[in-house]
Structure 1
Amino acid sequence: MPHEVIMPALGMAQQSGQLVAWLKAPGDAVKAGEPLMEVETDKATMEVEAQADGYLGGLRAKAGDDVPVGAVVAVIAESQQAAEAEAGGEVAQDAPETASETDSDDTLPEGAEVIMPALGMAQETGQITTWLKEPGDAVGADDILFEVETDKSAVEVPAGATGYLAAILAEPGEEVPVGAPIAIISAEAPANPVRLSHAQKPATPKLAKTEAPANKPKPEKEVAPTSEAAKPSAKPAAAPAPGGRILASPKAKRLAREQGLDLARLTEAGIAQPYHVSDLETLRALPAPQAAAATAPTAQALHLSAEVSAQGFAAFCDWIAEETGEDPDPGALLAGLAASATLSGPVAVSRHGRSRCFVDPARHPLGQAPQVDEDAMPALLIRDLRGSALQRISLGGEAQPVLTLTGSDPLTLTLEADPGQLAPEAALDLITGFAARLDEPLRHLL
């Protein structure tokens, strides 16, 4: 039976993703775990792996398309013949599903769909453990709507929109595919709130259901390559990235950093961006750089330090404990105080060898940002070394700017960033703003 490839959710609030490139061509053999396509959102660019063995066929989207989360973008067939047969059009069984969806959707209230989020790249389904709101209840965008569990984590998920819970489309205990709608939030109070199980509500309409403009050819004819030159392995020449940045998948950047490889050498060799894990083999095969290249001048890395009293943050944590009766999460609080500065996006906090990544804390109440998969690429890394013997630190650049907290009282804040990650003015705003909020956190809430 063919395996459908869907557009994954790379973030909790993501509604669509841009298909940057196919890393396989129709008819190619694929293995589960192999990079299949590259997807970009407003916060990250990631390689998406195949979830089944087989042959790629039936592409429904081309590079550059914005695709709704959960929409089918391709099919992995069991045989090469089946893949070639599907490459010319849609899978036959899609038609009755579309008709069923149209009939069912007529009975549902109008509003913003809440989808099953992806808490990890390999996740295909999630199980709702409990609903924290009932049909008809008023909800705010930051209100916790439900709890979802996968084989790796359990997370509270906010509503993401303000209005009324007009429909619940999955019951606790049900396994729901990533990207499938599980609730509807309407702008006005519903006259007849709906509560259904997932079995009663068909899956999210597939991409094939979206009508293409009359003056454009069908998507499958646009994406089906007709020659070897159309395969992803033959990269076209590409202009350098703006500002001299290297465009590469997060996995390729991480492996290159761990193995001491310089991706800039691929650019110097004329190899087109963006780079993927497979390009690291090409990089290793390049001749060693000339000794003179080591003496070439390089841009100065940013290294800023500040000191702040530790008493303000400690008193703030005590105050939260008294008000709520629960011990606060210092890591989540630090992520929220830092994200309110210059940077936005996921913030990772590392303490005692454990690293956690929080979803765009600037968009959530302080200390209440949900966590994402640890493989997510953060916009900022916070090293919490408070209470250790270290007083000053200088470890060099990482894949993102790094804020390190050392000492006991006062605390020393150290910001390190490679050229191109932060402008000097942005770095100054980041560390001074974080220091001010850390000194008087309560003022941040007011």
Structure 2
Amino acid sequence: MPRNETSGFGPHDVTMPQLGMAQDAGRIVSWLKAPGDKVAKGDALFEVETDKATMEVEAQASGYLTHVRAQAGEDVPVGQAIARISESADAAEDDAAPAPAAESDTASDAEDTLPEGREITMPQLGMAQDSGVMVGWLVEPGAQVGADDLLFEVETDKATMEVPAGAEGYLAATLAQKGDDVPVGQVVAIIAAEKPANPVSRALTQAAPAAPSPAPQAAPEPPAAHPADTPAASSVALPASGRILASPKLKRVAQEKGLDLGRLVAAGHPQPYHMRDLEVLENLPADAPAPQPGTTPQAMRLEAVVAQDGFAPFAASVAGTLDDADALLAGLAGASLGAPCIVAIEHVGVPRAFAVPAGRRLSGVTESEDAPGLLLRDLRGSALCGVALGAEDVPVLSVLSKGDGLALVLECDPQHMAPAQAIALLSEFAGRMGDPLRHLL
């Protein structure tokens, strides 16, 4: 289930999340809490429908639901505030909007007056993202753009991506510059219908009268001193090939600080690495020992046989509502790990990665740009009857046809996971592939 907020103190705006890269709006199906209701972090707050799926969205803050601005049936742009979680049920309505005086104070002359047009906001490219770093603009101020033209490049903790304009017109204002860390939902540009005589261009710190909400309270990075709190996607991946799996943001910051990510590998810290691992890297002792050559245990290889393939008929039966068989397969594999993770599905060609949340809701599985912690090779359509490829960057589950049933093979380096964890993973996955309905119980 997607999470809408970041934890912290004080009031929190609830915004329409971006559940897919091509999504620019979502429809409120229903509110699962009424205005004034007490809300706990993790409670299902509302249900949203996109062109891909219908999902429940969790609150990531505790308090009371107030300032509900969108009702069931309304289409809401991504990043737009739709409610607030306040410290009390009777929070004043005028707390929901930023003070208009801020605009008059900051727009000191006519050049600072923003043109009218379509506001472009910092998108939410991942469910845990609360801001993005502006890498650069791909279009000059005043230039004409099409809806599908790439407008700017943004970097999050997980990836660096190019963002399309989403509207036709002229780039009349750019309200953030290279290096600015922009909160999700903050207006970064305005696309006008007419060519502007004097395009506005300024940094985020030069005031933002077009901001849709009060200055957000950015949540700090999760403390790296508690690696046990990180999801299983990080705890199962340690490359055997020597390639380091790390987010673009961490790579950039580490390079700026002169830090070597290889020291995390040498210390046995599990991959992939994110910004939360920066503190661990900075605090590593200077003499962190590297693994000695020749001491790596032999790769593990486990096999299981499923007498009757239950997945194919299950996927066909739910195709009306869950039509992505790869997402279903990723959901069953990820759930077998017992914690949120990223699972890549590979047939022939480029693998597709999926974020598998906690719980048993297969509809909550979404495509992801993150590095996977588990790779599943679907070889059911091939003539292969067995595989023995050795350990790779992450644990690999291979699925092959075997008569009316399936043959399952798990290969991984012992540093990926403990033997007991590997046995549990393959056993759980075999049970789900034989009878997918058990996953829902």
**TM-score with structure 2 length normalisation?**
0.47
